[in-house]
Structure 1
Amino acid sequence: MHPHQRQTVSVSTTATRYPGHSSISSCLAVPATMRILPEAKNGFTNLTGIDYSPSAIQLSEKVREKEGVSNIKLLVEDFLAPSAELLGFHICIDKGTFDAVSLNPDNAVGKRKQYVRSLCSVLKPEGFFLITSCNWTKEELLNEFREGFEIVEELPTPKFCFGGRIGNSVTALVFQRKK
């Protein structure tokens, strides 16, 4: 099984804890935004994908049209300064946005803290946050999201061996926002 298939299955499994009208936000780079296509095809109707790049949103619109789904709202948004339209989500999915924020040479620490504040503002209490990162370990992500979030699950990801030690090239975690 391809590693991304496992993550999509986990997203769907988490999503099934809520009825089909639950709100799911994908705050990621756009090809990853299309990871919510399974939810769109399985009856979820309140899906939102965001990206700060208008051209990325245009690409997602083409993919959405090609796939024949109309229940994904696509928005040009800066997740570090979310609009009022991004409130009250049950599930938020990130694959790459936190990594990109972390690499910003201008106040990366402050931007990571703002990311967590933004996430808390868009996600309902007890909502789920799924993150896939190629730059952060599980322990580092637990530290970054310790304020306001609890770990629920570590999702399986590809492993590698180097110098006799086993590691992961990607970290995928499910958090739940505290009440």
Structure 2
Amino acid sequence: MEDTTKLNTSKLGTKEYWDEFYALEKKNFEHNPQDTGECWFEDNGAEAKMVQFLEEHVGIHRISLECSMVDLGTGNGHLLFELLENGFHGDMLGIDYSSQSVEFATKVAQEKDYNVQFSAADIFDANWNPGKYDLVLDKGTLDAIALSGLKTDNGRSLVESYSKVVEKLLLEDGVFLITSCNFTESELIKILQTDNLKSWDRITYPSFSFGGVQGSAICSIAFVKQN
């Protein structure tokens, strides 16, 4: 049976594409400070639903308004800014391998006086260690990673290695909330669930039926780190 968790490579999985993309967004922002960049999955309301999910689960596991969080593949930082504007005020760190992304997000944070930190990093570098957090976020990042087709030094695909990165960043009982448009819920669980990282809850999106199969164009799943 074909492994549906493997995607064809695309320019959307290259660092060069994202450097060019965020360099342009930064230039647009410099000309118009109201233009803070594209909100990914806006058509599906994913960002608002992720924020709502966290608000509704305050007090469960390590989710609180003061919880520390790291956003993997933060892009323009839009998700962290939205969480900040909705009352979350713990330590926030946005990580991206595009230096242009980090420069742009930092510029927006400074302009808006948001207390959010950004850093450029290769999250698959074994020496990268930014500490542990209550909450790890991903909005489309695993999708982009899957399109890169890249592998680690030991020959494993970056997708296969992603759960270890998440585990490394999470405190015990911490939550990983991921949104994807390229993988189904069952595929995300297959890719990400480990002995220590267990699927916990999901966000519901409008569904459609095609060929007798029910599905949706996007999915979000929350995982919890256990012993």
Structure 2 length-normalised TM: 0.69
Equivalent residues of 1:12, 1:39 under 8 A apart:
no
Establish whether residue 65 from structure 1 lines up as the match of residue 110 from structure 2. yes
For residue 161 of structure 2, the aligned residue among 97, 105, 114 is: 114
Number of residues of Structure 1 aligned to a counterpart in Structure 2: 176
For residue 100 of structure 1, the aligned residue among 123, 128, 144 is: 144
- Counterpart-to-counterpart distance in 1, 2:151 and 2:122: 16
- The aligned counterpart of 1:144 is 191
Equivalent residues of 2:67, 2:88 under 8 A apart:
no
- The aligned counterpart of 2:81 is 37
- Counterpart-to-counterpart distance in 2, 1:105 and 1:52: 16
**Cα deviation digits, residues 35-60 of structure 1 (max 9, x gap):** 12243232513011111001111221
For residue 8 of structure 1, the aligned residue among 51, 73, 97 is: 51
Q: Percent identity?
A: 21
- Counterpart-to-counterpart distance in 1, 2:204 and 2:180: 13
- Counterpart-to-counterpart distance in 2, 1:12 and 1:60: 24
Post-superposition offset of 1:79: 1.7
- Counterpart-to-counterpart distance in 2, 1:52 and 1:16: 32
Gaps of 5+ in 1: none
Tell me which protein shows more strand as a share of its residues: 1
Q: What is the alpha-carbon root mean square deviation over aligned residues? A: 2.3
Code of the aligned partner of 2:52: V
Partner-residue secondary structure (3-state), 2:157: helix
Post-superposition offset of 1:3: 2.1
- Counterpart-to-counterpart distance in 1, 2:174 and 2:188: 17
- Counterpart-to-counterpart distance in 2, 1:105 and 1:38: 31
**Cα deviation digits, residues 136-172 of structure 1 (max 9, x gap):** 1111111112212111111012423334543111110
- Counterpart-to-counterpart distance in 1, 2:146 and 2:90: 32
CA separation of 1:66 and 1:170: change in aligned 2, threshold 3 A: same
Gaps of 5+ in 2: 1-42
Establish whether residue 75 from structure 1 lines up as the match of residue 100 from structure 2. no
Moved more, 86-95 or 41-50: 41-50
Post-superposition offset of 1:106: 3.2
